[in-house]
Amino acid sequence: MLARVANRCQGMPESTLLRLVRTFIVAKFAYALPYLELSKLETQKVDALLRKAYKQALGLPPTTSTALFSALGAHNKIAEITRSRAYAHIATSN
C-alpha cells in the first residue's frame, strides 16, 4: 500500500506518509502487542516490519543500514511503543 502512494513524482509528501505509518501500522501494534507475550524473535520481526514501513515512507532504499536509520530517530522500537502504551493505560486508570 505504501509503495503505491509513495511515488516520488505524483505521490504523497513525506510528512503525510509518516502520518499514515503512525496511524495504520504503529497504532495497530500499540493496541494489540501489549497484551501478547512475544518472544525475542517475534519482537525483532515486528521491529523489522516497522523499519521497513518507515524506510518506505521516507523514500529510503531497503538496504539502508539499520544503525544509520536508527540514528535518524524517526521511529521507536516496539518495546518503547508498548511501554509507553502501558504507562498511558496506568495513568488513565488511576
Q: Look at the chain and report how many structural domains it folds into.
A: 1
Give the phi and the psi of residue 37 in degrees, each rounded to 5.
Answer: -95, 95
Strand, helix or coil for residue 2? helix
Q: What is the pTM of this model?
A: 0.76
Per-residue pLDDT of the chain (94 residues), as tens digits, is: 666 666 666 778 888 888 988 899 888 888 888 788 889 999 999 999 999 998 888 888 889 888 888 888 777 888 888 888 777 777 787 6
- Look up the domain containing 82 and give its range: 2-93
**What CA–CA distance (Å, rounded) separates 60 from 54?**
8
- HEC per residue, 9-60: CCCCCHHHHHHHHHHHHHHHHHHHHHHCCCCHHHHHHHHHHHHHHHHHHHCC
